[in-house]
Chain A
C-alpha cells in the first residue's frame, strides 16, 4: 500500500487519458488516433484493475490517498483517494470507456479531435469520482462538461447546437448551486476547526466536530437546510430528476451513439454519486427532515419518466426517458434513508450504467443503418438479425428489471428499502401511510416499465423483416463484441450482485452510521 507505485496509481489513472488525448492530436493519421485512444482506455482499465486488486475490502475507508498542496492561498489541495463509494463507479467508467472508444470506431469526422476530447472527458469523469477535495471535485465536475459540450455540439445530430448549449447551461446552473454551498462550507468551518482553518477536505467536512455545525441545533442549521436543497438541485440536474430533466432527451437524441452511452452510463452517475458523497453525509439531519419531499420527487420521476417514455415515437428519446425513470429509483432509495435503499440506489446506478449504455448502443446499431429512429417505421429486426435480437432482449429486459439481469436487483432493493422506512427507527416510522403510498406507487411503475419496453420491443423487433432492410449491412464483430460484453455484465451483476456489495459494504455501513446519528437524535 505504501509503495510509490500504489500511491501514484490514482494520479496515473486520472492523467493517462489526458496524455492519450494529447497524443491523439499529434499522431499522424486518424486510424492512429483511434488506436491511441483505445490504448489509453485500456491502460486506464488495467490501472483500475490494479486498484481493485490493491483495495483492501475489509478495511473500508479511504485508500490510496495521495495529497499535495495546490493553491495554498485558499487551502486547496490536490487530494485523491478511493473508497467503497467510488471504486465500483471507477471500474464502471474505465470498463465502459474501452467499449465506448470501440463504439465510436466508425466516426470519421475530425477523428483526432473526437478521440482527444473523449480521452479528456475520461480524465474529467475519473477526476470526479476520485477527488476528495471539494474544490478539486468541483473543478473536475466542470472539466467533464466541456468536452461533452463539443462532443455533442460538433459530432451530434441536426439540432446539435441547441442540445449542446442546453446541456451545458443547465448543468452550469447546477454547478452554481454547488459553488454557493461550497463557499458556505468553506467559510463556516473554521469555527469548529480552529487549528486547521478553512478546508475543502470532504473527509474532514463530514467528520466530527465539523459535521456538528450542520446538524439540527447546530449554529448553521438554517444554512444546512438551504445547502441540502441547493446541492440536491445541483445533483438532481445531473441525475437528472423531474422537473430538471428536459436537457437529457435533447442531449441524447442529438449526441452520437458513443456519447449517448457515456452520458447515460457515466455522467448521470455523477449526480447520484455526488448526492451520496456530499449531500447526504454533510447534511444528514436536513436529509431526514425533508425525506418525504425527496422521496416524492423520486417516485414522481419514476412514474413520470415511464409515462413520457411511453409517449415517444423517437426510439432514442424513449430510452432517454427510461433513464429518467430509472434514476428516480436512485432518488427514492436515497431519500428513505435505509441501508437497503441506499445499497439499492447504488446498485441501480451501476446496473443502469450497464443497461442504459447497452440500450443506447442497440439503438445506435440500427440508426447507423436506417438513419432514422421512428419507432413506427421499424419491425421485424429480430428475424433480420437473430443474434442482435437476442442481445437486444438482454439489454432491454435488463432495463425493464427482469430477475437474473442487473436491473432487477437495484429496483427490488429500493422498493424493499422504501417499505423498510416504515419499520421502527426508520424515517417513516411515524408516517406509515406515506411510506405505503410511496411504496405502492413506485411498485406500480413496474407495469408502466413493462408497458413501454414491451410496446417498443413489439414495434421494433417483432414481425417480418421489411424490404428496406435488404441494403442494411450485417451487424459486425466489433458491434457484437460490445453488445456481448455489456450483456454478459448485465447477467453477471444480476446473478451475483454481491460483487458490488463486497466492495461497498464497509463504506456504506459507516455512511449509514453517520445518517443514523441524525435519526437517533430525533
Chain B
C-alpha cells in the first residue's frame, strides 16, 4: 500500500465525515433565513451524495491496494497530564470494516435525505430537519471512523443528541416529547456503562484506549499501540505480579467487567433487552428518521461497537453478549406478531434482527454479524421508507387494520416492500445456495450459533441448545410477521374505503430511494459476497479461544449450514401462511385470539389450509400466546404502567427515583436545612430570654445597680480579710 493511496483514503474518509457536519452547520446558521427550502434540502442531499462518493472512492482505493494496511491518524484533544499517552485523541482508524461501513452509512443517509425532500414537504421546520439529519449522519460517520474510545464516545453522545432532536422533531405533540426524552435517557443508562468500561480500561492500559484494529492489521511492532496489544501486555505484567497466568481464556475480573460495561453502551444504542423499549416509542419521529435510525445509524452503532471490542471480550463477556442477543431476538419477534401499527411491526422486527447481530457477535460469528448489519440496513431502510410512503398515502393513518388492498394504488411501493420482505425472510431458491441478501447473512449467523451451542454444551448443559434453537425458530417467525404486514397492507379488500379512495403513490423523490434500496437488498448479497471474504472475513479478529468454539473455518460456514433453513422451503411456507392468513384482514386472527382455538382452527383450516391445521395451532397460537406474554411482560413488567401494582423495571425505578428525589428534596428542606435554621432559632430564643432583664425603666436599672453593688460589697467584706495595720 503506497503512501499516496493511504493519503487518498485518509483524506476521503475525513472529508466524507466532515462534509455532513459542514452542511448541518450552514443549515442551522443560515438555512431558514437565507437559503430557503429548496437550496437547503438539495444542498444537504448533494453534500451527503458527495460524502458517499468520497466513501466509495476510499473503498475502491482500499480494494485496489495490495496488502492494505489499517491507517491510524490521530490528533491530540484532551491533555491527560501524568499519563503515558499524554492525550486523549480524536482520530481516524481506517481498516476494511471502516471503509465498508462508511459506504453503507453515507449511502443510506444520502437516500434518506432524498426521501425526506418528498416526505417532509410542507413542514414548517423543513430546513432544520435536514440540518439534524446531516448532523446525525456526521455523528454516525464519526463513530465508524473513530480510532479510539474517546472519539467513539463523543460521537456516541452526539448520536444521542441528534436522535433526541429527530425523534422529538414534532415536539408540539406529547408523544414525540416523551419518546425523545425516553430515547436519550435510556441511552444514557447505556452510556454510564460505557464510561465505566472506558474508565477501567483507561487506568489499566495507562490511557491507551485506541480501538483494536481489524486483524491482519498493524504490524507486530505497531500492535502494541492498540488496545488489544496493550491488554496483552498488562495481562503479562499482572500475571507476573499475582502468580496466576492470565490470558483471554483465563481473564482477570476487570477485563470481563470492562467488556460487559462497554457492551452496556451497545445495549442502550442498539436497543437490546432490557433497554429496548425506547425503540418502538421512537416511532413517534418522522418516518425518514425511523428509516435511518433503524438501519444505518443509531442502532447500528451498538453492533459496530460490539464488533470493535470483539477481540477483547472474554468468554464470560461473550456469553453475556450472546444471552442478551438471544433474549432480544426471541422477545422482539414475538411482539412483532401482535402489533397492528405498521411502523411498530417494523420496529420490533428491527429489534429482533439486532438481536441476531448481537447474538452472532457473542457466539463468534463475527463476519456474519457484520454482514447482516449491512444487508439489514438496506432492506430495513427500504421497508421503513415504504411504510412512510404508505402513511403518506393514507393521510397519516398507521393502523394496518385500516389498510388493505393498497397494492393496487401503490404498485411501486408494493413491489419494494415485497422485495424487502423476501430479503428479510432470507429467501432462496430451494435446494440451492442462491438467495438474496438476508439468506446468506442469517444462515451464517445460525451456523455460528449452532457451533457456539455445541461449544457451550459442556458448561451450560441442555440450555446451550437455546443459542441455536432461538435464532432458528425466529427465522420462521420473521417470515411470518413480515408476510402478515404485507398481506394486511397491500392485499385483500380495502377495509377503509375513504382511505383507499384518496391513496396515491408518493412523488419520485420518495420512490427513487425506495427502488435503489430494494435493488441493493437484492444485490448486496451476490454483489458483496465476492469481496466480503476479502474485506471482512479474512480480517476477522483471530481470537484464539473463539476459533476452537466456532470449530469451523469461516469460509466454509456458509456452505455447511444451508440445511438449517430447511433447504429454503421454510421461508416459502411461512410467507404463504402469513399472507393467506391475513388476506381477510384481522378477521381470522381476531377470532383466533378470542374464541377457543380449536373451533377457529377448524373453520380456518376448512377454508384454506386443511392439511397443516395442527401446524397452525403450534405456530400461530403458540406464538401469539408467547407474544401476548412477551407483550404483557414488556408492557407491565419491564416498561411498567403507572397506576398498577408493579410499576415496571423501567418506569418503576424512574418513579422510584422521582419519589426518592421528592423525599430527598423534602429531607433537604426539613432536616438538613432545618438544622441550620434551628441553630439560628436557638440563638434568637436565647436572646429573647435575656431580654426580660431589660425593662427599660431607669429605676429598675438603678435598683439592679445598687443590689449588685451591695452584693459585691457583701461578698468582698465577708471574704477579704482587710489588713488593719495602719501605714
Residues in chain A within 8 A of chain B (CB atoms):
166, 169-170, 243, 246-247, 304, 307-308, 310-312, 338-340, 343, 380, 382-383, 390, 397, 402-404, 408-409, 412-413, 415-416, 418-423, 426, 436, 439-440, 443-451, 454-455, 457-458, 462-464, 497-498, 501, 505, 508-509, 512
**Within 8 Å of chain A (Cβ to Cβ): is B673?**
yes
Give which listed residue, A243, A419, A457, A458, contacts B672 with CB less than 8 A.
A243
Name B198's closest neighbour in chain A (CB-CB): A416
B167-205 interface mask toward A, CB cutoff 8 Å, 1 = contact, 0 = none? 010011010011011001100110110011011101110
CB neighbours of A505 from chain B (8 A): 79, 81
Name B659's closest neighbour in chain A (CB-CB): A311
Q: A99 to B88, alpha carbons, bound, how many Å?
A: 33
| Chain B residues touching A, majority SS | helix
11 other A-B residue contacts (CB within 8 Å) besides A307-B665, A403-B155, A454-B185: A246-B676, A247-B676, A307-B661, A339-B83, A343-B81, A416-B199, A443-B196, A445-B192, A451-B657, A462-B168, A505-B79
CB neighbours of B83 from chain A (8 A): 339-340, 420
Q: Is the CB–CB distance between B171 and A462 below 8 Å?
A: yes
Q: Is the CB–CB distance between A512 and B199 below 8 Å?
A: no
Q: Is the CB–CB distance between B177 and A463 below 8 Å?
A: yes
Q: Is the CB–CB distance between A409 and B78 below 8 Å?
A: yes
**B residues 666-680 touching A (CB-CB < 8 Å):** 668, 672-673, 676, 680
CB neighbours of B154 from chain A (8 A): 403-404, 408
CB neighbours of A416 from chain B (8 A): 80, 198-199, 202-203
What count of chain B residues pass the 8 Å CB interface test? 52
Give which listed residue, B155, B188, B206, B680, contacts A446 with CB less than 8 A.
B188
CB neighbours of A170 from chain B (8 A): 676
**Within 8 Å of chain A (Cβ to Cβ): is B77?**
yes
B60-81 interface mask toward A, CB cutoff 8 Å, 1 = contact, 0 = none? 0000000000000000111111
Q: Is the CB–CB distance between B203 and A423 below 8 Å?
A: yes
Q: In the complex, how many angstroms separate the beta carbon of B667 from the nearest chain A beta carbon?
A: 9
Q: Is the CB–CB distance between B157 and A246 below 8 Å?
A: no
Q: Is the CB–CB distance between B78 and A307 below 8 Å?
A: no
Q: In the complex, how many angstroms separate the beta carbon of A88 from the nearest chain B beta carbon?
A: 14
Given A443-B196, A455-B181, A463-B172, residue A413 in contact with residue B672 (CB < 8 A): no
The number of residue pairs between A and B whose CB atoms lie closer than 8 Å in the complex comes to: 147
**B residues 188-227 touching A (CB-CB < 8 Å):** 188-189, 191-192, 195-196, 198-200, 202-204, 206
Q: Is the CB–CB distance between A403 and B153 below 8 Å?
A: yes
Q: A170 to B680, alpha carbons, bound, how many Å?
A: 11
Q: Is the CB–CB distance between A307 and B188 below 8 Å?
A: no
**Within 8 Å of chain A (Cβ to Cβ): is B569?**
no
Given A246-B676, A307-B657, A380-B172, residue A419 in contact with residue B79 (CB < 8 A): no
**Within 8 Å of chain A (Cβ to Cβ): is B1?**
no
CB neighbours of B533 from chain A (8 A): none
Q: Is the CB–CB distance between A412 and B658 below 8 Å?
A: no
Q: Is the CB–CB distance between A462 and B177 below 8 Å?
A: yes
Q: In the complex, how many angstroms separate the beta carbon of B280 from the nearest chain A beta carbon?
A: 19
Give which listed residue, B76, B177, B202, B662, contacts A458 with CB less than 8 A.
B177
CB neighbours of A454 from chain B (8 A): 164, 181, 184-185
Given A308-B664, A443-B195, A451-B657, residue A419 in contact with residue B203 (CB < 8 A): yes
Q: In the complex, how many angstroms separate the beta carbon of A28 from the nearest chain B beta carbon?
A: 42
Give which listed residue, A404, A419, A458, contacts B181 with CB less than 8 A.
A458
Can you offer 13 A-B residue contacts whose CB atoms are under 8 A? A307-B657, A308-B668, A339-B80, A390-B28, A408-B157, A413-B78, A419-B203, A420-B203, A447-B189, A448-B657, A462-B177, A497-B77, A498-B77
Q: A497 to B90, alpha carbons, bound, how many Å?
A: 13
Give which listed residue, A166, A403, A447, A455, contacts B158 with CB less than 8 A.
A403
Q: Is the CB–CB distance between B177 and A512 below 8 Å?
A: no
Give which listed residue, A422, A439, A448, A498, contacts B79 with CB less than 8 A.
A498
CB neighbours of B78 from chain A (8 A): 409, 412-413, 497-498
Q: Is the CB–CB distance between B172 and A311 below 8 Å?
A: no
Q: Which among B171, B188, B192, B199 has the highest number of chain A CB atoms within 10 Å?
A: B199
CB neighbours of B161 from chain A (8 A): 397, 402
**Within 8 Å of chain A (Cβ to Cβ): is B660?**
yes
Q: Is the CB–CB distance between B81 and A311 below 8 Å?
A: no
CB neighbours of A419 from chain B (8 A): 199-200, 202-203
Name A403's closest neighbour in chain B (CB-CB): B154
Q: Is the CB–CB distance between B196 and A440 below 8 Å?
A: yes
| Chain A residues touching B, majority SS | helix
**Within 8 Å of chain A (Cβ to Cβ): is B82?**
yes
Q: Is the CB–CB distance between A509 and B198 below 8 Å?
A: no
Name A422's closest neighbour in chain B (CB-CB): B203
CB neighbours of B164 from chain A (8 A): 454
Q: Is the CB–CB distance between A340 and B81 below 8 Å?
A: yes
Q: In the complex, how many angstroms separate the beta carbon of A446 from the nearest chain B beta carbon?
A: 5
Given A246-B672, A403-B157, A462-B168, residue A339 in contact with residue B203 (CB < 8 A): no
Q: Is the CB–CB distance between A446 and B203 below 8 Å?
A: no
Q: Is the CB–CB distance between A415 and B658 below 8 Å?
A: no
B149-163 interface mask toward A, CB cutoff 8 Å, 1 = contact, 0 = none? 000011101100100
Q: A475 to B106, alpha carbons, bound, how many Å?
A: 39
Name B666's closest neighbour in chain A (CB-CB): A311
**B residues 72-104 touching A (CB-CB < 8 Å):** 76-83
Name A462's closest neighbour in chain B (CB-CB): B171
B628-664 interface mask toward A, CB cutoff 8 Å, 1 = contact, 0 = none? 0000000000000000000000000010011011101
CB neighbours of B664 from chain A (8 A): 304, 307-308, 311
CB neighbours of B661 from chain A (8 A): 307-308, 310-311
Q: Which among B28, B76, B196 has the highest number of chain A CB atoms within 10 Å?
A: B196
B662-703 interface mask toward A, CB cutoff 8 Å, 1 = contact, 0 = none? 101100100011001000100000000000000000000000
Q: Which among B28, B154, B171 has the highest number of chain A CB atoms within 10 Å?
A: B171
Given A310-B658, A423-B203, A447-B188, residue A463 in contact with residue B668 (CB < 8 A): no
Give which listed residue, B77, B192, B200, contacts A447 with CB less than 8 A.
B192
Q: In the complex, how many angstroms separate the beta carbon of B555 from the nearest chain A beta carbon?
A: 40
Name B202's closest neighbour in chain A (CB-CB): A416
Q: Is the CB–CB distance between A383 and B199 below 8 Å?
A: no
Q: Is the CB–CB distance between A382 and B668 below 8 Å?
A: no
Name A380's closest neighbour in chain B (CB-CB): B172
Q: A448 to B656, alpha carbons, bound, how many Å?
A: 13
Q: A382 to B672, alpha carbons, bound, how many Å?
A: 37
Given A311-B665, A404-B154, residue A382 in contact with residue B171 (CB < 8 A): yes
Q: In the complex, how many angstroms separate the beta carbon of A520 from the nearest chain B beta carbon?
A: 14
Q: A343 to B81, alpha carbons, bound, how many Å?
A: 8
CB neighbours of A312 from chain B (8 A): 665
Given A311-B658, A446-B192, A463-B172, residue A439 in contact with residue B199 (CB < 8 A): yes
Q: Which among A170, A390, A415, A447 has the highest number of chain B CB atoms within 10 Å?
A: A447
Name B156's closest neighbour in chain A (CB-CB): A403
Q: Is the CB–CB distance between A463 and B171 below 8 Å?
A: yes
CB neighbours of B153 from chain A (8 A): 403, 412
